[in-house]
Amino acid sequence: MAAGLVRMVCGSFGPGPGPRGVALSSSTAAVAKAVSLSGLKPLPEKVKIVEVGPRDGLQNEKTIVPADVKIRLIDMLSEAGLPVIEATSFVSPKWVPQMADQEEVMRGIHRKPGVSYPVLTPNLKGYRAAVKAGAMEVAIFGAASELFSKRNINCSVEESLQRFEEVMSAAREEKVPVRGYVSCVLGCPYEGSVSPSRVAEVAQRLYSMGCYEVSLGDTVGMGTPGGMAAMLEAVMREVPVHALAVHCHDTYGQALANILVALQNGVSVVDASVAGLGGCPYAQGASGNVATEDVVYMLHGLSIHTGVDLPKLMDAGSYICRSLNRRTSSKVAQASCKL
């Protein structure tokens, strides 16, 4: 490789700097197979990225985008190689007006073979509407904090799990896979610290009721690597690591460090949001979801395979930011943008 060329690992990228002069990290031969960093467990060779921008991202943006923009975004994300793209949410538009066009979006997207398009279904009613609109995978959201559950979905954690049982039964019968989420795994905006054992309890319930995967969410982004490790240690006693994902918020800038720790502990599924869409509703002006571009950049620099084409992903990010009339929250995208 000639000096001056920076090769993009694991992307559909030729030699040389990428478009717009993007300087991409390149792992050296010594770390070619994502071997362990300083004697820790080896990092996974592959990581599945679950793209939550169209749902979690847009749901938390002030500007509401029309269905055709959402559809175009999802189609661009499909082209970028993401294997899972959370498309929309079947909650009542009374609560989440941003997702009122749920049916139109589901019907309008071009479904790429091999890509899943899960949708949120908070209850049986939402589930039925989702399946009717063509959903082939759904997701349910639990919380590790009682107060958060009450304030967010107006019921206790136990009550929410009972609602989910109904969804699980129906989904099981119809062979629709269900993904579970646990909010507040590293802290709650109302309760403060959350015990790892509580997180493990909720995660175990979701897993044993039939969720094929449980995504552990640092809802307020206050977690740090030590807390992430402690929480995972507790959860992994109850749920096998291959069924775990992390959903980190970057509100305190800790997301990538937390994700790295999760990888070091065997997690190989990471949620992220294109352009870091979705601010933190609990701290005005603060960032929320970690940007998919920044996660992919790190993973590729670690020689971890994601299947994602970073330049195409960045195109999707630029597109949605233009539509939202806002600046990207992705540092990789900012770095590559020559103003």
Partner 1 sequence: IHLSRRSHCMRGQIATGPGLSGSSWSTELFPDFVKIVEVGPRDGLQNEKEMVPTEIKIQLIDMLSQTGLSVIEATSFVSSKWVVQMADHNEVLTGINKSPHVRYPVLTPNIQGFQAAVEAGAAEVAVFGSASETFSRKNINCSVEESMQRFEQVICAARQACIPVRGYVSCALGCPYEGQVHPAQVTKVAKRLHELGCYEVSLGDTTGMGTAGSMAAMLRAVMAEVPIHALAVHCHDTYGQALANILTALQMGVSVVDSSVAGLGGCPYAEGASGNVSTEDVVYMLHGLGIQTGVDLAKVIEAGDFICRALKRPTNSKVSQATSRSQPSFNMCE
**Binding to partner 1, residues 191-250 (CB under 8 A):** 191-196, 220-227, 229-231, 233, 250
- Interior CA angle at 136 toward 292 and 138, to 5°? 60
Q: Which is nearer to partner 1, 28 or 325 (CB)?
A: 28
Task: Indicate if 337 belongs to the active site.
Answer: no
**According to the binding rule CB under 8 A, does residue 53 interact with partner 1?**
no
Angle of helix 157-173 relative to helix 124-132, nearest 10 degrees? 30
Q: Which stretch binds partner 1 (CB under 8 A): 57-65, 77-85, 152-160, 187-195?
A: 187-195
Q: Which stretch binds partner 1 (CB under 8 A): 55-63, 89-97, 118-126, 185-193?
A: 185-193
Cα distance between residue 239 and residue 210, in whole Å: 12
Phi, psi angle pair for 89, to nearest 5° = -140, 130
Cα distance between residue 333 and residue 320, in whole Å: 13
Element (DSSP H or E) covering residue 246: strand 244-248
**According to the binding rule CB under 8 A, does residue 90 interact with partner 1?**
no
**According to the binding rule CB under 8 A, does residue 155 interact with partner 1?**
no
Burial 304-313 (b: 16+ CB within 10 A, else e): bbbbbbbbbb
**Which residue is catalytic, options 184, 211, 280, 321?**
280
**According to the binding rule CB under 8 A, does residue 34 interact with partner 1?**
yes
**Binding to partner 1, residues 299-328 (CB under 8 A):** 300-303
Instruction: Please state the closest distance from residue 16 (CB atom) to partner 1, in A.
Output: 9
> CB atoms < 10 A from the CB of 146, how many?
16
Q: Which is nearer to partner 1, 115 or 298 (CB)?
A: 298
**According to the binding rule CB under 8 A, does residue 280 interact with partner 1?**
yes
Which are the catalytic amino acids?
280
